[in-house]
Structure formats: structure tokens, C-alpha cells
Amino acid sequence: MINELVKKISDLNAPVVVGLDPMLSYVPDHIIKAAFDKYGETLEGAGEAIWQYNKAIVDAIYDIIPAVKPQIAMYEQFGIPGLVAFNKTCEYCKEKGLVIIGDIKRGDIGSTSGAYATGHLGKVQVGSKSYSGFTEDFVTVNPYLGTDGVKPFIDVCNEENKGIFVLVKTSNPSSGEFQDQLVDGTPIYELVARKVVEWGETCMGDTYSNVGCVVGATYPEQGKKLRKLMPKTYILVPGYGAQGGKAEDLVDYFNADGLGAIVNSSRGIITAYKQEKYAQFGEENFADASRQATLDMIEDIIGALARK
Amino acid sequence: MINELVKKISDLNAPVVVGLDPMLSYVPDHIIKAAFDKYGETLEGAGEAIWQYNKAIVDAIYDIIPAVKPQIAMYEQFGIPGLVAFNKTCEYCKEKGLVIIGDIKRGDIGSTSGAYATGHLGKVQVGSKSYSGFTEDFVTVNPYLGTDGVKPFIDVCNEENKGIFVLVKTSNPSSGEFQDQLVDGTPIYELVARKVVEWGETCMGDTYSNVGCVVGATYPEQGKKLRKLMPKTYILVPGYGAQGGKAEDLVDYFNADGLGAIVNSSRGIITAYKQEKYAQFGEENFADASRQATLDMIEDIIGALARK
């Protein structure tokens, strides 16, 4: 799957992914109203609203981006109807030719990680039939439980040509609390990175591994160091835009081939219409604002890479 | 919520929790057949089978245990119909008066952890109404992202009288890979434990905190040490039985008051009918086998505590 992702990124010259992380407060009033008119102020109504919101944004940007990253928590908060909207969103994005990175941050003991891998990346056997419960191409994985919590995901990636991004250094303010702790002078996140490289060798694509990692845009020094430490590992970079990461800080997350990283923006794109910069689009045309914000983001990052 | 859990454990003299972690291969043939007759070999059929299996086991044991711990991955592998079965199981257990510990091991950056906390422990606002997407009383939380990934859960616990169990030292073979790494002589899991104590002080019940922790039964030395380090923290102990943990090893996870730990068994209870020891019950009476296995587990642990 990393081969497909790399090809799309190269073809579009767009090392970006849009985070589909809807909150109801982001959804324009006319979509909320239509959803509540149909389903009432219910979880189903909320699910319908975020699905219609996603669909409009995807319709406006699918031709200029390689991938989307729906954050499952934003759907899970609405229970089953939220997860139905998650599934609809994934399936629609797949129809539109996008790579789906499910931001699920799962991770458990072996047999349990196996069940998550089956559900999100693989197929589950039911009698003589088999089904995909969810339909992502990549998922994010939490490494705290060690190799036997990650390996079941890799096994499914090898069977199904899928991929994972393992949390190495996350973008949030307190990520250093445990991740930066020094073990004989080496931070924990670097120990995780070394394991990611080892795991990645068992699941290679042509140039890059199907086992990628997550390094936040908010920690450029660490990103630069990790880039060198793991040359065949694709880095998923959250934290650009709303969380404070800037394009200039991100150039060192890329390899000399201009590849090796994919930068995520969520709020910066999906709530573009609420920003002064894109206010001229108006709430009705929120998806056009998202398209312009996506084009600006691509230009920002490609520009910074060209100046590198 | 920890007060309710402690009271139930004391009233029943049963510091145990049964893990409702169904695999289709665990479910007796007659239940599978009935479910597939009704829904076909579909995800809905699988969901129905695991729900009916859970229901029969819960009916057989609800009066002798304080709590259940459904592992959401086992449901998530069946997609939406699996999660419908998860929700039905939680709601049914609540009707039966059981405390629900959702083993979900979620954890993310602040706003995203907030969405998970809302979905599993809190209420989500939809227009003028509010709803619970899922209905657990406690959930398990992964600490890799640090304080700002955990605090949103604690905030909801304080609002809704709920609780969490934070992963400190997990039961799996490779848990030491990162968790045991020494930082100036102190293992990472102990650094996490100290934070759990700090977080716990902000969310206290009468004697114990609503912020508990997870320490695997398979690491008794660490369990003993952690018990002393965190006297007001309830320890959820997975790994008894099928994973190898023995009652004698677990007595040091308890405080002198006989409280402070709750021991989980999943396969050992729910697949009891497949074990030689309980074979006399027969597959048809699988739930009676689970009841006997639960009684035996309680006796085993209470016996070991009495001999301490």
C-alpha cells in the first residue's frame, strides 16, 4: 500500500493528507438543519450531518490530494451512528480513489491487536464467508505494548497489502512526558523508532516500508533526527497549521528524493470557511474554501521544499 | 464510580471481573446455528451470535461478580454489527447491575481524547439533546501521549462519576520492551505509575481514586512494587488463568484491607466448557460451566488472600 501512496503523492506533487475530523460545531448550519430535519436531534442526525459535511469536502478536494485521514474518535463520540458515518466516509473516499489512513491509535496484547488489525485492515471470517468490518488502507498504531502488540498489524499488512503508522513522537504539548525520557542518553521515542525500522524491514514496499511512523510537526528537531535514523520509513506528520507546525520546519522530515513524509492538516482545511483568510467563500461554499486551503497548503509545503 | 465498584467487590467478596472477549470460535454451535439461521453468514449473524453467547454467560454469573470487562477489539473486528453487539452487551450488563469496564485502550492528543471520553464515558451534545454513544462505567487508557492525552478522560470522570484504568505494566510477553526501560534507574512503567497517582488525586472516591491502573498478573514482582507505590490506586489485573497468572502471585497486588485489586479472567471463564475440568457440563450448558469456573476463580483468589 505504501507504493500506491508514494505514487499518488508523486503524481499529484502533493505530500499532504487531509484530516476528516468533524465536530458538529464545524458543520455549516444548512447541513445541520437538513440532517436534523431528516433524523431529528439524534445520534443519527449527527451522523448524517458529519457524513454530508465530509462528502462535500471530499467532492471538492479528492482530485488534488493523495489521501485522507479520518480520526475515528470524532465519529466514535456519536456511538454507532457516528461509526456508520465513519464507514460511509471511508467507502466514499475509496470510490474517489483516495488512500484512507484510519487514525485509530489502537494497540493491545497480541490476540487483541490481531482483532483490531482484522477489523480495520483485514477480513474477518464468518462461517464460510469473509468480510471487512472497516475499510482503511493504513491505520495508526500505539507502540506502548511492544512488538507483540504491533506484529499482528504487520501480519495483516503483509497478507492484505496494507500499512501502518506507528506513534513515535506525537504532536501534543505533553508528548515528551514519557516519549522524551532518556534511556542511557537515548529518548524512548528513538527506541521506538529503531523498532519501527526493524518491524518495517519485514513489510517492505519498493522503496519505503509499509510500516511508517508518526512524528508531530511541532517537534522539528526530533523530526530531522528521526528522518536520518529511519530512511525507508514514511513519516506521517500531524500538527501542521492549527497545532502550530510551519512548512519551513517540515522540510527536514523529507528525504532528498522529496519523498518520505506526508503532512496532515485537519481543522486548517475542513474549517477553512471560518477563517478570515477564506471568509469570502461564505458558509454555503465551505467546501470551496477547503479546496483553496488545500491548494494553499500544498503550495506552502512544495514551496518550502523547493527553497530547501 | 470507584466507590460503587469497591462496594460491589466487598459485598460479594469477589475481587474479580469477567472479560467478555468473544471470538466466534468460542461460541457453541447451537448459538452459531441459530444466529446464522436468522441473519445468514453475515456480520449481523456474527454480532447476533456473540451477543447471545454473552447474554447467556451474563445470565449465569451476574449475581456472583461485581463487574465485566468487554474487550472492544473483539467486537470491532465485526465492524458496525460487532459494535452493536458491544453496546447491547454493555446495556444488558448494566441492567443486571454490573459495573462495565470497557477495555478500549484509547488515548490521543487532548481534543481527540476528549472525543473518546465523551463517546464512552460521557454525553455528546446534538442540538438541544444529549446522548451516550457507548455506556461504560470505566475505560482503559493508554498513557503514551502523556498528561494532555489522559486529562480529558479525567475531566469526564469528574463530571459523570466514571473512572479509568491507565496502562502501567501490561501482561503481554513484550511489555518490557519500552515499559521496562530504565530512566536514571527507574523503569518507564514506574514513571507512568507516579503520574497515575498524581492524576488520581484530582479524581478521588472515598478511599480509592477513580483513576486506576492496569498491571498484568504475569509480572508479580512489579505488581508488588507498584502496590506500595500507589496505595490509593485500584489495580485492574489481566493475565490470570489463560495467560499464566496464578492466585498466589496476585496477593501482593492487594492492600492490607483486602481491597485495591480486581483480577480479570476472560478465556478461562467464557470458554470454560471447552476445558477438561468443566467438560461434564457439555456444550449446551456452556454458561453453567462459566459459572462454575467463576466460582472456582473467586475461591482461588479469596483462598490465596486468606493464606497471605
Nearest CA in chain B to A145: B175
> Residue B130: its chain A contacts at CB < 8 A?
none
The model's confidence at residue B228, banded by pLDDT at 50, 70 and 90, is very high
B38 is catalytic: no
Query: Which chain A residues are within 8 Å of B23, Cβ to Cβ?
Result: 115
pLDDT of residue B241: 82
Question: Is B84 part of the contact surface with chain A (CB cutoff 8 Å)?
Answer: yes
Instruction: List pLDDT tens digits, range B75-92.
Output: 999 999 999 999 999 999
Q: Is the pLDDT of residue B250 over 80?
A: yes
Cα–Cα distance measured from residue B124 to residue A42, given in angstroms and rounded to the nearest whole number: 10
3-state SS, residue A15:
coil
What average pLDDT does this structure show over B94-116? 97
Q: What pLDDT is attached to residue B182? A: 97
The DSSP annotation for B11-57 comes to HHT--EEE-----GGGS-HHHHHHHHHHH-SSHHHHHHHHHHHHHHH
> Using CB atoms and an 8 Å cut-off, which of residues 164-223 of chain B contact chain A?
167, 170-179, 181-183, 188, 191-192, 195
What's residue A210's pLDDT? 98
Measured CA to CA in angstroms, residue B107 lies from A99, A263, B70, B90 at distances of: 24, 21, 18, 21
pTM: 0.97
Region of B143 (left: φ > 0; alpha: ψ -120 to 50; beta: rest) is alpha
Provide the CATH number for the domain formed by A2-307 in this structure: 3.20.20.70
Residues from chain A that touch B170, judged by Cβ atoms under 8 A, are: 109, 144-145, 149
Q: Distance, in angstroms, between B242 CA and closest chain A CA?
A: 12
Give the closest of B41, B43, B188 to A133, CB-based. Answer: B43
Please, which residues 100-129 of chain B have a Cβ atom closer than 8 Å to chain A?
Answer: 105-110, 112-113, 115-116, 118-120, 124-129
pLDDT at B205 over 80: yes
Among residues A94, A105, A224, A274, the one annotated as catalytic is: A105
Please tell me the predicted confidence (pLDDT) of residue A222: 96
Greatest CA span in chain A, whole angstroms?
61
User: Scanning every residue of chain B, which has its alpha carbon at the shortest distance from the alpha carbon of A182?
Assistant: B183
pLDDT at A243: 73
Q: 523547493: which residue's cell?
A: A306
User: What CATH number labels B2-303?
Assistant: 3.20.20.70
Question: What part of A 224-253 touches B (C-beta under 8 Å)?
Answer: 238
C-alpha B179/C-alpha B191 separation (Å) is 9
CA distance A202 to chain B (A): 18
| Ordered per-residue pLDDT tens for chain A, 308 residues | 999 999 999 999 999 999 999 999 999 999 999 999 999 999 999 999 999 999 999 999 999 999 999 999 999 999 999 999 999 999 999 999 999 999 999 999 999 999 999 999 999 999 999 999 999 999 999 999 999 999 999 999 999 999 999 999 999 999 999 999 999 999 999 999 999 999 999 999 999 999 999 999 999 999 999 999 999 999 999 989 877 778 998 999 999 999 999 999 999 999 999 999 999 999 999 999 999 999 999 999 999 999 98
Q: Are the C-beta atoms of B191 and B218 separated by less than 8 Å? A: no
Query: Nearest Cβ partner of A82 from B73, B133, B195?
Result: B133
Out of A45, A172, A178, name the one closest to residue B143 (CB): A178
Closest CA to B6 of B58, B67, B62, B55: B67
- What number is the average pLDDT over the span B223-228? 97
Whether residues A188 and B191 touch (CB distance < 8 A) is answered with no
Asked if A110's CB is within 8 angstroms of B143's CB, the reply is no
Do B109 and A171 make contact, defined as CB atoms within 8 angstroms? yes
Residue A233 has a pLDDT of 98
**Cell numbers standing for residue B193:** 505509575
Helix (H, G, I), strand (E, B) or coil at B135: coil
Specify the pLDDT at position A241.
82
Contact A36 B127 (CB under 8 A): yes
* Chain B residues in contact with A43 (beta carbon < 8 A): 124, 126, 131, 133
- How does the average pLDDT of chain B come out, rounded? 97
Render pLDDT for B230-246 as a digit per residue (tens, 0 to 9).
999 999 999 898 777 78
What string of H, E and C letters represents the secondary structure of B156-172? HHHHHCCEEEEEEECCC
- Helix spans in B96-250 (H): 110-120, 147-160, 176-179, 188-200, 220-229, 247-250
Q: What DSSP character marks residue A206?
A: S
Whole-number pLDDT of residue A286: 98
Other beta carbons within 10 Å of B279: 12
